[in-house]
Structure 1
Amino acid sequence: MTRTRDEWTSAARDLQLDGRAVIDGARVDAISGETIAKTNPATGQTISHIAACGEADLNRAVAAARRAYAAGEWSRAGAGFRRERLLELARLIEERADEFALLDTLDMGKPVRETTTIDAPGSAALYRFYGEAIEKHEDRIPVTPPGSTALVTREPLGVVGVIVPWNYPLEIATWKLAPALAAGNAVVVKPPVEASHSALLLAELAVEAGIPAGIVNVVPGRGSVIGKALALHPDVDMVAFTGSTEVAKQLQRYAGQSNMKRLALEAGGKSANLVFADCDDLALAAQKAAFGAFYNQGEVCSANSRVFVERTIVDRFLELFAEAAQAYRPGDPLDPETGVGSLVSESHADTVWATIEHARRDGRIVSGGERPEINGSRAFIEPTIVTDVPDDHEVHTREIFGPVAVVTPFDSEDEAITRANETPFGLAASLWTGSLARAHRVSSQLVAGTVSVNTVDALGFTTPFGGFKQSGFGRDLSIHALDNYTDFKTTWMQWS
């Protein structure tokens, strides 16, 4: 049954929020006893206190993970056993899907209509995907000389650190955890301090699902403390990360300073969306452009925030784009009719707003450019379309992580490709054309981990997601994500 705004508000008031860490299967306070006040960005009200864990807490979690991994109850269990436990975890997430949805909505301002229909059920489905996939991941017997046999097996790496961003707290944690667990690893999760509650609940349910205590640990706290300690820890074998390029580079330095741990880094993006005059449906292109730029408040690493439009159709496209942006006007995240919610904090909204004001001075605001106050909070920003700004302007070059898109005309296919690739990032790109030849020709030249043709930001469980250049390396989703958390072992047996 679909809930009303009043029903969601009532459910949010009744929700019991627990900000304690989960280490070795139990809820625990930080050893220091310190906490961090957590506010709901959509109201500014304090909703809980998150354990401000320190290095000693992280060490405790890594030791628990190492013991659990070495015990072999999970790491050496058959794929069928891990499959059943992951399927049970998926069932438990679905059973408490509304609770998970509320946790992410209250933590980071995401609309409840998205967390209930996409984030929570999508996370459950992904645990099911990897639970089923692990039994179908085969070892190999390669050709060897007579009198010998070699077995090539995929082995778990050991203790995996997972650093999760705040824009998709449950979903991206699942992108890392599901394949890491399916492969037999133990994990230590550093959730975002802005949105820790869903990962903490997930760790509780992992134990309930029959995953041994110590296999899933969640240590909340500041990234400068927990993230750094995790990346430097000599007993962590691998770190999976989604976040900024600056932090990704720092993690590379930490890995080199410690034990050369493996890394899978999904870093920043500044994705381009190319709209050619031979596009079959310009209205649809504009609607999808609005989705690509403004969905999730624009707080998406692969947001298509740079829109390049062939000059002959740019005026009409801007009209349609401005109309489509109205579907993403901000409102109360607990209202099922809300298109987008608040940004993750008023301070982050201040940063995004400063960029909009800069663009207002140097270019033209086509639509939006307002910052309404809702529920007493100033963390809301209207979806904003900018044009006529210089090529070196920050709206072209910087990952804003807010509901801001810049539209730029182009005159030729080569110009469109060149401008799309003029970025240090290479996470995603989109293009709109009615020509199959152009679709192949342009997509092959765009430097991006995913190119969406006649849609935007396409992804699915069966296709890998990740980037080139300074958008990182390694892939989430699909069977290929298991490559992050395993490595090959050759066992050679000589018979004669």
Structure 2
Amino acid sequence: IRFFAELADKHGGSLAATQTDRLGMQIAEPYGVIAAIAPWNFPLSMASWKVAPALAAGNAVVLKPSELTPYSSLRFAELALQAGIPAGIFNVVQGDGRVTGDALCRHPRVAKVTFTGSTATGSSIMSTCALVGPKPVTLELGGKSPQLVFADVPDIARTARTVAMAITGNAGQVCVSGSRLLIERSIMQPFVEHLRTYFEQLRPGPTWSSASTLSPIISRQQANRIDGIVQRSRQAGAEVLCGGGLFDGLGGAYYQPTLLTGLDNSNPAVCEEIFGPVLTVQAFDDEAEALGLAEHATYGLAAGVHTADINRALRLVRRLEAGSVWINRYSNITNGTAFGGYKNSGIGREFCHETLNAYSQVKTVTVQSEVPTTAWFAPR
């Protein structure tokens, strides 16, 4: 919010190079009304990512939070009113995505839609906006992000912890979760043992409990979906090294951190976005094989590279098809760094200067200093 507030008075347009007898300007103007559809996994953060740049560019916003996590968005809107945002500029409407979200996309006064969520839903929103508009969209969608680990990492235990945290944070319910471990064969066994130890030390429980180190799954339905993919992957030949099911007796939807190996790229656990604490493990022998395994037909949201060789890291950065690539760490989204995906992982970028441009239309204005003597269509 502070980042886009600071940008607001530095955004307005530019001058164009023109002939000496005229002045050319590009003026940035708001679209009008933006429909922002936010997900349930980081409800307040994702709402602010959408609302802040839209308001800074001069638009009004109608925010639809997930029906599973509405409360923080309502409080957000209350605080906006208290802070001085005029009534009617920042609005929250609740409801199911199939009804309320669809109605927002179709509303003739909504000039643009921004959405974070699944690729399937994003495709449906884009189709609807094309049919009733067309109207522009910003889409931040699914991912199946690889983490490439090479044998030259200086500290196996530390790298294993980084890899583990990238899939167990928020119980894996993160679009950029590093859900596919690609590891050089020579260190696979000790690395996996470190992962197994880390996974088995996690303690499930309510997120407000200081004793908890593993979050719950958003719903029993989602937990059952995660388990369904794991079981189908086992039927397709995957071996479960640890986890592989729900925790018993906890009174909630808690899924065991799971390690799967013995997979190829056609296995459901490798192909499908699971959105849970499930990590697939595949071994490689060289960079070429690592890149081949990293390639995903659908997704290109993020990737991690763990190596002591900076030249190798920079080579891989150029060849990995992902909107964000992290070297020797995983997930670092900060002010001013563009966030978005390649392929079916999205359209547009959030959290950066370009985001403000995406919430603006450009109007070209040309001022003639004297009456032209040639027809308007004449060449310069």
**Cα deviations across residues 194-242 of structure 1 (Å, max 9, x unaligned)?**
1011111111221111111111111111100011111111211000000
Give, as a single letter, the amino acid of the residue that structure 2 aligns with 1:276: F
Q: Secondary structure at the match of 2:14?
A: coil
Greater per-residue helix proportion = 1
- Pick from 194, 197, 206: which aligns with 1:320? 194
For the residue of structure 1 that corresponds to 2:15, the secondary structure is: coil
Indicate the larger mover: 331-340 or 175-184. Answer: 331-340
Partner-residue secondary structure (3-state), 1:430:
strand
2:228 pairs with 331, 354, 378, which one?
Answer: 354
Could you tell me how far 1:447 is from its partner in structure 2?
0.1
- Asked if 1:333 corresponds to 2:207, the answer is yes
Q: CA deviation at 1:395?
A: 0.5
Aligned mates of 2:249, 2:17 — CA distance in 1? 67
**CA-CA distance at 1:370 after TM superposition:** 4.0
Distance 1:382 1:146, change over 3 A: same
Q: In the alignment, residue 33 of structure 2 is paired with which amino acid?
A: V
- 1:279-306 deviations in Å (ceiling 9; x for gaps): 2222221111111111111001111101
1:367 corresponds in structure 2 to 242
Aligned match of 1:17 = none
1:376 corresponds to 2:281: no
Aligned-partner SS, 2:36: strand
Q: How many percent of aligned residue pairs carry the same amino acid?
A: 39
Q: Distance in 2 between matches of 1:349 and 1:307?
A: 22
Equivalent residues in 2 for 1:209-228, closer than 5 Å:
209-228=83-102
Number of the residue aligned with 2:82? 208
> Paired residue for 1:237?
111
Q: Given the superposition, is the C-alpha separation of residues 412 and 215 from structure 1 closer, same or farther in structure 2, using an over 3 Å criterion? A: same
Contact in 1 for aligned 2:322/2:342 (Cα 8 Å): yes
For residues 115-174 of structure 1, the C-alpha deviation after alignment (integer angstroms, 9 at most, x for no partner) is xxxxxxxxxxxx111111212335322221112112222111110000111111110011
Asked whether the equivalents of residues 186 and 215 of structure 1 are also in contact (C-alpha less than 8 Å), the reply is yes
2:45 aligned with 1:171: yes
Give the TM-score taking structure 2 as reference length. 0.94
Give the deviation of 1:381 after TM superposition: 1.0
What's the CA shift for 1:333?
A: 2.0
The one-letter code matched in structure 1 to 2:258 is: T
Structure 2 counterparts to residues 42-441 of structure 1, below 5 A: 127-137=1-11, 139-326=13-200, 328-361=202-235, 362-373=237-248, 375-377=250-252, 379-441=253-315
The number of aligned residues is: 369
Is the Cα–Cα contact under 8 Å of residues 183 and 283 in structure 2 kept in the other structure?
yes
Distance 1:483 1:152 in 2: 12
Q: Aligned-residue CA RMSD in angstroms?
A: 1.4
The alignment partner of 2:144 has SS state of coil
Q: Distance in 2 between matches of 1:367 and 1:429?
A: 24
Q: Which amino acid is 2:240 matched to?
A: I
Decide whether the 8 Å contact of 1:329 with 1:382 is kept in 2.
no
Deviation by residue 1:355-395 (Cα, 9 ceiling, x = unmatched): 23334443222222342245522x00121111113431111
Q: Structure 1 residues 485-494 or 434-443, which shifts more?
A: 485-494
CA contact (8 A) 2:265 2:293 kept: no
Q: Distance in 2 between the 1:384 and 1:329 partners?
A: 14
Does the 8 A contact of 2:145 with 2:302 survive in 1? yes
Ranges in structure 2 where 5+ consecutive residues have no aligned partner: 371-380
Query: Which digits, 9 at most, give the CA deviation of each residue in 1:247-278, with x for residues without a partner?
Result: 11111111111111110001111000000112
Do 2:306 and 2:328's aligned partners in 1 also have CA atoms closer than 8 Å?
Answer: yes
CA distance in 1, matches of 2:265, 2:170: 26
For the structure 1 residues 277 and 375, does the alpha-carbon distance in structure 2 shift closer, same or farther, using more than 3 Å as the test? Answer: closer
Please list every run of 5 or more consecutive structure 1 residues that lacks an aligned counterpart in the other structure: 1-126
Contact 1:275 1:308 in 2 (8 A): yes
SS in 2 for 1:273: strand
Tell me, in whole angstroms, the C-alpha distance in 2 between the residues paired with 1:169 and 1:402: 17
Per-residue deviation, 1:474: 0.5
Q: Say which is worse superposed, 129-138 or 265-274, in terms of deviation.
A: 129-138
The answer to whether the 8 A contact 1:359-1:365 is kept is no
> Which residue identity lines up with residue 158 of structure 1 in the other structure?
G
